[in-house]
Each structure stands twice: as C-alpha cells, then as structure tokens.
Amino acid sequence: MTAKAKVTGYATGWFVVAASDELPVGKVLSLRYLGRALVAFRGEDGQASVLDAHCPHLGADLGIGGTVVGNSIRCPFHAWRFHGDGSCAEIPYDRSERPAKSLARAKIRPWTVRERNGLVFVWHDQLGRAPTYEIPQIPEHGSPEWTPWTLNIMTIRTQPCEIIENVADRGHFPRVHNTNIDEFENEFIDHMAIQRSAGVAYPRGGGSDRFRLTATYYGPAYQVTEMESFLPNKLINAHTPIDEHSLHLRFGVMLKRVGDDTKMARYAQGYTHNLQVGFGEDVAIWENKVWRDRPTLSDGDGPIGALRRWYRQFYPAVEETTP
Ligand code: FES
Ligand SMILES: [Fe+2]
C-alpha cells in the first residue's frame, strides 16, 4: 500500500456506540461495530461497559438474552457472569478444586469506554494502544439553559473516508446542498480537523439561512459544530463503522432554550430534519461513487490532500508500512 491509497481497516480513536439514554441502568445492548459483535450494559453502579459479545465458555452472544446482575452481565446460555472489565465473576455450577483458576481463564475482551456529552464512546486501536486523546466535555451539555440532544441515526453503505472528506470539500456545497459558501478555511491541529465557514443556505423548501460555523473533528469519527444561525446551537455528527462497507451516522442538535419544552422540541425537530435532508443529499453521492486515490483536483477545491494526510494519522498500519 502506498501513502496515497485508500486506508483500510478501522481508524484509531473514539467511536460513539450509543446515546447514554439508550443505556439506562440494567439495560443490555447488542451492538455490531468495527467488524465485531459487541455487548454494552450498565450496572447498578451506573457504569457503562462494553465487551466483546461472545462468551468464552461456549460462545453465546451476551447481547442476546444476557441480563445485568448487580454490576455484572449474565450469559443467557449457562449463566456465567462477567464484570465490566471482562473478568469472570461467577461460574454458578463450577465444582473444580480450584474454582479461582476456572474464573481466571474465563475472560472476555473489554473495550475502553468513556461517557461524554450524553454519548457512550469506545476506544478502538488495531495495535491495542491506550487512548492518546480525550473527547472534550461540552460545557453547555446538561445545562438547564440548553436542551439535551435530539439525535437521529442513519445506516449508510459507504466507508468513513467519504464522510470525513466533507470537511474539506468546499466544491460540493453549492451543488449538493444548495449552499453558497462565502468563507471557507480548514485547520488541522494534531487529532483535530477544523472547518470554519460562512455562507447562505437555500433550503429546498424555500427561504434562506445565513450561517457562520466552526465544525471540529476530535479524532477520526466525532465532530461538533457550533453554528450561529436562527438559534445558538451545537450539532453533532459521529460515524461508527459497522463493517468495511457500512456505517452508522449519528447526528443531532442541542439548542439554547428560548421557550418551553414543546416549542424547543419543535425547533429541534426542524434542525434534525434539515440535517437529515442534508446528509441524505450526501448519501445519494456516497453510496454510488467510487474512491479516487488520485483525484483530479482544481484550484477551487478545498484542501482535500491536507485533509487526507491528517486522516491517515489514525491508521497506524498505513503510516508504519509506508516508506
Ligand atoms: S456460553 Fe456463556 S455461559 Fe455457556
Ligand atoms: Fe455534504
């Protein structure tokens, strides 16, 4: 593979696997992400945990019929229990002379989890290294002056490079999104990719919205946008590969409160609807395009090469095998 080739495998970084409110205490979620079967659960202590899904005993999927017991998850097949760190808490019928040894052998791979801003993240690194950056807390999240997230999710038949490239792809906004861009710049700082832009959007339904925004990727898969428009708002855009051909895109908004819950819910629905329409416009392209390792670019394009160089840092295998 050369430095210019499309990256393969899954990036190193934090990936959203659930919204916090999808995982209340006592809940088990079966997940399929990053080419693996995973299980998420929340114990009585409030801690969210994510493990590989398949039991080390005879291979049942803990996410399908598993139950939370205290701070552990119980397998639906023979009721072995596992802590959130993947260690075995109990083999209910073990009569061996050294039960501790059986317990020590029965271990499931745990995933490093962070819960930030109402979202549950797992850390993925194909080389097994510890996290190298953190997801920053959004100060307004949880504030009574702001709404919680209104989130939506889409399954898209594409790979992450396409989603990421929107950051630098100035040229597609007028064509795909009916949006005039007056100002556009990108900055790449360590694990962050920032887009600052301003312009006028012309929604297909009519009217016009002047906007100014700063959209920041923190790592390869989680972006927060601060936008000045009709209401102060924060947008989220997070993708998580399901496998090498498809991904989940989570997107949504939190808004500064300017009215009662009903009114805010209506605004939030309006924003998420617009996001859905906007991403839908991209999806029609993404699901049918091919990847160009060596695209023919013109002067009016954004800094697509710089964006691709930034993104390759999250694929250590590529960096390390590239001369
Ligand atoms: S397969 Fe899980 S306890 Fe037997
Ligand atoms: Fe787009």
Report the nearest atom of ligand 1 relative to the CA of 80: 3
The per-residue pLDDT for range 53-91, each reduced to its tens digit, is: 999 999 999 999 999 999 999 999 999 999 999 999 999
pLDDT at residue 159 above 60?
A: yes
The per-residue pLDDT for range 217-268, each reduced to its tens digit, is: 999 999 999 998 878 899 999 999 999 999 999 999 999 999 999 999 999 9
- For the record, the structure tokens of 282 come out as 């991209």
Report the nearest atom of ligand 1 relative to the CA of 91: 3
Substitution candidate for ligand 1 out of 75, 103, 107 with most atoms within 8 A of CB: 75
* The 3-state secondary structure of 109-123, one letter per residue: CEECEEEECCEEEEE
pLDDT at residue 1 above 70?
A: no
Output the pLDDT for position 320.
55
Q: 55 CB less than 6 Å from ligand 1?
A: yes
Output the pLDDT for position 7.
67
Output the pLDDT for position 318.
57
Report the nearest atom of ligand 1 relative to the CA of 75: 2
Closest C-alpha among 242, 304, 231 to residue 270? 231
Q: Which residue CA neighbors atom 1 of ligand 1 most closely?
A: 58
> SS3 breakdown of the chain: % helix, strand, coil, rounded to 5?
20, 35, 45
Substitution candidate for ligand 1 out of 28, 39, 54, 58 with most atoms within 8 A of CB: 58
Q: 133 CB less than 6 Å from ligand 1?
A: no
Output the pLDDT for position 8.
72
- For residues 302 and 77, give the distance between their C-alpha atoms in angstroms, rounded to a whole number: 54
CA 81 distance to own-chain centroid = 29
| Ordered DSSP codes for 125-140 | -TT-PPPSS-PPP-TT
- CB of 104 closer than 8 Å to CB of 85: no
Closest C-alpha among 34, 9, 12, 8 to residue 314? 12
pLDDT, averaged across the chain: 93
Output the pLDDT for position 6.
58
Amino acid identity, residue 314?
Answer: F
Q: Which residue CA neighbors atom 3 of ligand 1 most closely?
A: 78
Substitution candidate for ligand 1 out of 39, 51, 52, 57 with most atoms within 8 A of CB: 57
User: Which of the ligands is closest to the CA of residue 170?
Assistant: 2
pTM listed for this prediction: 0.94
Average pLDDT over residues 151-160: 96
- For the record, the structure tokens of 138 come out as 């959004």
Where does the pLDDT of residue 323 fall: very low under 50, low under 70, confident under 90, or very high at 90 and above? Answer: very low
pLDDT at residue 205 above 90?
A: no
pLDDT at residue 2 above 50?
A: no
Of the listed ranges 21-30, 94-103, 211-220, 265-274, the least confidently predicted one is: 94-103
Q: 88 CB less than 6 Å from ligand 1?
A: no
What is the distance in A from the centroid of ligand 2 to the CA of 265? 25
Q: Which residue CA neighbors atom 4 of ligand 1 most closely?
A: 78
pLDDT at residue 109 above 70?
A: yes
| Ordered DSSP codes for 251-288 | EEEEEB--S-HHHHHHHHHHHHHHHHHHHHHHHHHHTT
Closest C-alpha among 260, 156, 167 to residue 219? 167
- Alpha helices (runs of H) in the chain, residue ranges in sequence order: 99-105, 160-165, 172-177, 261-286, 304-312, 316-321
Question: Rg of the Cα trace of the chain?
Answer: 22
Output the pLDDT for position 319.
52
Substitution candidate for ligand 1 out of 51, 52, 73, 80 with most atoms within 8 A of CB: 80
The per-residue pLDDT for range 3-34, each reduced to its tens digit, is: 345 567 899 999 999 999 999 999 999 999 99
What is the distance in A from the centroid of ligand 2 to the CA of 173? 6
Average pLDDT over residues 264-291: 93
pLDDT at residue 322 above 60?
A: no
Of the listed ranges 35-49, 100-114, 153-167, 204-218, the least confidently predicted one is: 204-218
- For residues 80 and 255, give the distance between their C-alpha atoms in angstroms, rounded to a whole number: 44
What is the distance in A from the centroid of ligand 2 to the CA of 161? 13
DSSP state of 91: -
